Every structure is written in C-alpha cells, then in structure tokens.
Amino acid sequence: FAMAGKLLVVPMDGSHWFTMQLVVKELIHRGHEVVLIVPEVSWQLGKSSNFTVKTYSTDYTLEELNQHFKTFSDFQWKAQPQNLLSLVMSPSNDIFGQLFLHCRNLFKDTKLIEYIKESSFDAIFLDPFDMCGLIVAKYFSLPSVVFTRGAFCHYLEEGTQCPSPLSYVPRLFLAFSDAMTFRERVRNHIFHLEEHLFCPHFLKNAVEVASEILQTTVTPYDLY
C-alpha cells in the first residue's frame, strides 16, 4: 500500500474546478493531507468545508471578474470565433489576463509564501491552464501532478515530451475524433502551426508574471 502524502493544490476557477474537486475529495478520502491555495475572489474555489483552504487577496473584485466573464462568454457563444487568430486576439480574453495576474497577488502574500515553504509538501496538484500552479511548482521546486481536460496551445505535450501525433490527436477546439479524414488531418496540422504563431501572445501576461516571480527570463516551455 502507498503511504499518504501532503499535497498542495493550486486549482483553476470555474468549470475546471468542478472536475478537479472530485479527485481532491478522493485523495482526502484515501488519507492524503490536502491544502488548497486560492484567491479570495472566486466563483467556486474553497467553497467546501472538507478542504483546508489558504486564501490570498486580489486586486480585482467579484463584479469585475463577472464582467470579464460576460464579455468572454458573449464572444464565445454569440460571435462564434472562426479561427484561432480571432479567438486569441479577441478583447474577450481579458479574463485570462486577469486570471494570470492573480498569481502576482499570491506571491505578495509573504505569510502564505512562508507557510508553503515550511509545510514541506510532497507534490503540487495543478491545472496547467492557469499557469500559476506551474509557477508555484517551479518556485518551490515541487514535483507536479497535472490535471486537465484538454491542453490549449502546444506547450504541455511538447514541454513534457509527450507523444501527440497530429494525424491522430486533434487539437483543442477542433471537433475531430482520432479517426480523421485526410482533409481533417490537414486542418489539424494547420491549426497546430497557428498555435505556434498566436499562443505566445495569449500567454504573454503569464510569462511576464513568471519571469518577475522567478527573477529570470522564462518561456512557457520552462514551466512544464
């Protein structure tokens, strides 16, 4: 039997947390000690009494977060972006910039940072879509366990050297299966090339925050 461990959890808010919390509950059920670190302003994070939760303040209010999400959802479900360029360059993506910047607030909380240092966690459980978990893992040199429903951009599989052949693995946002036609495979390859062009723009704020916190210039590949 495996021994129980001490796990730091850095979740992402919204629907991502709905699936992740099921795993967290099972880890607790199996005897692991779990601590969540979450922003004070959130939709769902830390709303369960079963978890040990540590919070940190943010520079934004719940009303501002809701407004950013409304702009994002209106664009996604009403305007229906036609390609990756329109998706990544859309003003609706301000919500992701907001979510990435909360990591700076985390590291401004000196008491919380000291708590993490002194707690001797065995590993960190994170959602890579919110790159704050990756930054925390790098900062504290913690082994990471990644939980995701699908990786946007190409950094996760390439950074971890995980095989992801484009002829069989469809990119996110493409409604293809693993049994693609020739035309779909060509479209999948083109979409992958578009990711290399536009994903650096999408992750610009996150990379800037990571470089500031880690006090060295980093790329997304450095965080995976």
pLDDT, position 26: 92
Query: How far, in Å, CA of 171 to CA of 180, rounded?
Result: 12
What string of pLDDT tens digits covers the 224 residues of the chain? Answer: 467 789 999 998 877 888 898 999 999 999 999 999 999 888 777 666 677 999 999 888 777 776 766 776 666 666 555 555 566 556 555 666 666 778 999 999 999 999 999 999 999 999 988 889 999 999 999 999 999 876 667 788 888 888 889 999 998 778 899 999 999 999 999 988 988 888 888 788 889 999 999 999 999 889 88
pLDDT, position 1: 45
- List Cβ neighbours of 50 (8 Å cut-off, separation of 6 or more): 25, 28
pLDDT, position 63: 78
Are residues 172 and 151 in contact, defined by beta-carbon separation less than 8 angstroms?
A: yes
Say which DSSP state 19 is in. H
Residue 178, phi then psi, degrees to nearest 5:
-75, -10
pLDDT, position 110: 96
Provide the 3-class DSSP secondary structure of residue 2. Answer: coil
CATH top-level class for 6-223? Answer: alpha beta
pLDDT, position 204: 86
pLDDT, position 216: 96
Give the pair of three-digit tokens for residue 8: 């730091």
Give the pair of three-digit tokens for residue 89: 């360059």
pLDDT, position 165: 92
Helix or strand holding residue 210 (H, E): helix 204-214
Are residues 69 and 44 in contact, defined by beta-carbon separation less than 8 angstroms?
A: no
pLDDT, position 67: 77
Q: How far is CA 173 from the centre of its chain?
A: 17
pLDDT, position 197: 83
Give the pair of three-digit tokens for residue 172: 């996110």
Domain borders along the chain are 6-223
| Predicted model pTM | 0.84
Query: How far, in Å, CA of 105 to CA of 144, rounded?
Result: 21
